[in-house]
Amino acid sequence: MKNRRSVTFNHNPLLEKGLPVWRPRLVLLGLLACSLTLVGRAAWLQGFNNEFLQAEGKSRYSRVIPVPATRGRITDRNGDVLAVSTPVRSIWAIPSDARLSPADTRSLATLLEMDVPELNRRLDSERDFVYLKRQLAPEVARRIADLKLPGVHEHQEYRRYYPGGEVTAHMLGFTGVDDRGQEGIELAFDAQLKGMSGSRRVIRDRRGQIIEDVESIRPPRDGENVALAMDAKIQFLAYSALRHAMQTHKAKAGGVVVLDVRSGEVLALVNAPTFNPNNRSGLSGAQLRNRVLTDVFEPGSTMKPFIGALALEQRKVALDTIIDTNPGRMTIGRATISDVRRHGPLTVGGVIEKSSNIGTVKLAMHFTPDEMWQMFDELGFGTPLNLGFPGEASGRLRPARSWRPIEQATMAYGHGVSGSLIQMARAYLAFARDGELLPLSLTRVDAPPAPIRQVFSAETARQMRQILERAAGPEGTAPKAQVAGFRVAGKTGTAHKLEGGRYTDRYISSFVGFAPASNPRIIVAVMIDEPTAGQHFGGAVAAPVFARIVEGTLRSMGVVPDAPVAPLHVAGKVEMPPVPKERM
């Protein structure tokens, strides 16, 4: 060992040899370049291109959270709630994460009110996201959250409730599962009703509590409330009266609309058959149809007063002009028009009171098709009302050029021209309001709107009110329209239904009228489709509905009676309608 020459580190022969000058310089240069690169990179990240890292940093503590907004409420004219949204929870799962023990599955299924196999089927789904149940009550959702099941989550949604149920179903329509309007007012006023959820940025601490509000990205905007013109009381009256008539006459369908004569507001709008908007499973199209607004029908005799008014207005006849309706039959071209029975000579008033087809056709023969077309057009037939309601019907009014004489004759008594029930009701505004038409409104209006146009003179309208009052009286076609304490006026209609271009022996019975006759406040239009219990005349089927609605409505509006209150001797008046059971 001693002999071995030890080489210490200091005396490394390699070092003694000396290095070429360029080598340390090269290394130094390399190190310098490295550090410059680092400094440059740091400057780049810190100074020039710092958004990415800043965003990353922020995302560690700041969060953007949504701020929910609720859909507006729908109320009636007195502020009673007709539709309101309340929060509910939807339970969803990530099937691959949801590994539940049989006991957990059972308790979850009980809370969800589902079968265990059904729940298992959903949890075995291939998808990444499945809804287990939507729109659960918050209490149930809380109990599910307390189970602390893996892979089972919940989120908040809104559900719309309609306390009025079937009574207000057609008017309000409904919303879909996403809280957006799908039918009726909900759709028509969706822009106003829907809320805009906002979002804001906050800082959370490690326990997830919000400790600082950084900024409001978009403030939430709750939906506006909509106050309808509808009066819940009148709506219910109309609903129960219509329902009663539907049962008594075993009718297929029906509709009622009540208008405020002074403001053009729609106080009630009811259709039958109806549906429960709170539980919409198994609905049929017939139930959903809003017949009053979207279905047109040939009105029949309720058209006659307009012809009479036009004849008086243009002085083609005077109030005492005699029109001979003998022999109760009349031939135009190859067609024959007839009356239900022979009425003999009648005045203009008598023609409308007795609802004589012959008399009306004779009155209509004074006019050219153009004159009649113009009146129908001014009354609003053939033009939609533009209430903003989805699917509003315009009715059918063909151009006057194409009218054949027989068509002009049938149109005089309401066949060959069609309109919706609400169009009929509005046209009667011309009689109830000294000849003017008002725009209608589904929402509450504060001041009466400006009239659209004057169709008849005030004098003609006044004369027609007297004629229509007699038409609804003991001598007319609708004594059953009488109401204790109030003078009423109106006209019946009994129209054959048109099916496949032919008139059938099925009928639409209707009644359009107003009250009190001395100073009209409301217009009530009633339509009953296919009464099958024996009676089909408007005076027997639709007029009693009118009477019941007018009586209750005027009383609830506090209108002073304009007739002496005396016991009426009208059959069936005292009998009470069965009370409809409310289902929620």
Partner 1 sequence: MIRADAFLISIAVASALGVVAAQHQARQIFSELEREQARARELEVEWGQLQLEQSTWAALARVELIARERLGLQEPQPGRIVIVEVPR
Binding site for partner 1 (CB under 8 A): 70, 73, 80-82, 84-87, 161, 163-165, 167, 209-213, 232-233, 236, 240, 484-485, 560-561, 565-568, 574, 576, 579-582, 584
Cα–Cα distances in angstroms (integers) from residue 380 to residues 289, 389, 407, 514, in the given order: 22, 16, 19, 19
* 375 Cβ contact partners less than 8 Å away, ≥ 6 residues apart: 306, 310, 455
Least distance in angstroms from the C-beta of 207 to partner 1: 11
Cα–Cα distances in angstroms (integers) from residue 324 to residues 356, 359, 493, 519, in the given order: 10, 7, 22, 33
In the complex with partner 1, the residue whose CB is nearer, 42 or 211, is 211
Least distance in angstroms from the C-beta of 84 to partner 1: 5
What six digits make up the tokens of 243?
Answer: 């329902």
In the complex with partner 1, the residue whose CB is nearer, 237 or 525, is 237
β-pairing, 130-136 vs 152-161, is: unpaired
What six digits make up the tokens of 513?
Answer: 């009228």
Least distance in angstroms from the C-beta of 420 to partner 1: 27
Least distance in angstroms from the C-beta of 46 to partner 1: 25
Exposed e or buried b per residue across 496-519, where buried means at least 16 C-beta atoms within 10 angstroms of its C-beta: bbbeeeeeeebbbbbbbbbbbbee
Least distance in angstroms from the C-beta of 216 to partner 1: 13
Exposed e or buried b per residue across 284-322, where buried means at least 16 C-beta atoms within 10 angstroms of its C-beta: eeebbbbbbbbbbbbbbbbbbbbbbbbbbbeeebeeeee
* 135 Cβ contact partners less than 8 Å away, ≥ 6 residues apart: 88, 89, 90, 157, 159, 177
Catalytic pick among 90, 240, 263, 301: 301
CA–CA separation, 151 vs 98, rounded Å? Answer: 4
* DSSP tag of 341: S
CB 366 within 8 A of CB 338: no
In the complex with partner 1, the residue whose CB is nearer, 233 or 343, is 233
Helix (H) or strand (E) holding 425: helix 421-427
301 is catalytic: yes
* 231 Cβ contact partners less than 8 Å away, ≥ 6 residues apart: 76, 77, 78, 267, 268, 556
Q: Residue 492, exposed/middle/buried by CB under 10 A (0-12, 13-18, 19+)?
A: buried
* DSSP annotation string for 223-261: PPPEEBS--HHHHHHHHHHHHHHHHHTT-SEEEEEEEET
Cβ neighbours, 10 Å, residue 567: 8
Least distance in angstroms from the C-beta of 122 to partner 1: 29
In the complex with partner 1, the residue whose CB is nearer, 138 or 333, is 138
In the complex with partner 1, the residue whose CB is nearer, 71 or 415, is 71
What six digits make up the tokens of 79?
Answer: 């502020």
Closest to 358 measured CA to CA, from 340, 376, 370: 340
Least distance in angstroms from the C-beta of 210 to partner 1: 5
In the complex with partner 1, the residue whose CB is nearer, 450 or 576, is 576
CA 126 to chain centre: 39
* 523 Cβ contact partners less than 8 Å away, ≥ 6 residues apart: 258, 259, 261, 425, 428, 429, 432, 512, 513, 514
Three-state DSSP state, 297: strand
Closest to 396 measured CA to CA, from 315, 464, 306, 295: 295
* 542 Cβ contact partners less than 8 Å away, ≥ 6 residues apart: 245, 492, 493, 509, 510, 511, 526, 527, 528
Least distance in angstroms from the C-beta of 546 to partner 1: 17
Cα–Cα distances in angstroms (integers) from residue 218 to residues 64, 194, 200, in the given order: 11, 16, 7
CA–CA separation, 246 vs 235, rounded Å? Answer: 16
Helix (H) or strand (E) holding 502: strand 502-515
In the complex with partner 1, the residue whose CB is nearer, 274 or 410, is 274
Least distance in angstroms from the C-beta of 424 to partner 1: 27
In the complex with partner 1, the residue whose CB is nearer, 164 or 395, is 164
In the complex with partner 1, the residue whose CB is nearer, 209 or 281, is 209
Q: Residue 63, exposed/middle/buried by CB under 10 A (0-12, 13-18, 19+)?
A: middle
Least distance in angstroms from the C-beta of 276 to partner 1: 12
CB 235 within 8 A of CB 494: no
In the complex with partner 1, the residue whose CB is nearer, 326 or 556, is 556
In the complex with partner 1, the residue whose CB is nearer, 11 or 569, is 569
Least distance in angstroms from the C-beta of 565 to partner 1: 5
Catalytic positions are: 301
